[in-house]
């Protein structure tokens, strides 16, 4: 879906600032999926698959802040 830049100090931010970052990224991801996938596609499943593969890739590349944001977003999606 693209590259994701996350503040180096993500883990040190307060919850309100983390929520702004997570919600902004989630909204962008959902917009892209809504725009490009057919109406019959389970967008939540696709979103979770993208998030899971991105977490694995970013952990492998030691981009822990990005992986942490994605993990937090995954928790938000699963709560809905």
pLDDT for residue 8: 87
- Residue 20 binned pLDDT confidence (cut-offs 50, 70, 90): very high
CB burial readout 41-62, b (16+ within 10 A) else e: eeeeeebeeebeebbeebeeee
The tokens for 36 are 């490009």
Section 16-33 average pLDDT: 94
- Residue 1 binned pLDDT confidence (cut-offs 50, 70, 90): low
- Asked which of 2-6, 14-18, 32-36, 70-74 is least confident by mean pLDDT, the reply is 2-6
The residue assigned the tokens 């879906």 is 1
pLDDT surpassing 80 at residue 39: yes
pLDDT for residue 57: 95
């Amino acid at each position: 879906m693209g590259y994701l830049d996350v503040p180096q100090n993500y883990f040190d931010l307060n919850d309100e600032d983390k929520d702004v970052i997570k919600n902004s990224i989630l909204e962008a991801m959902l917009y892209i999926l809504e725009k490009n996938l057919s109406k019959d596609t389970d967008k939540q499943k696709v979103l979770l698959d993208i998030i899971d593969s991105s977490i694995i890739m970013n952990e492998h590349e030691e981009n822990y802040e990005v992986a942490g944001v994605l993990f937090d977003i995954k928790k938000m999606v699963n709560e809905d």
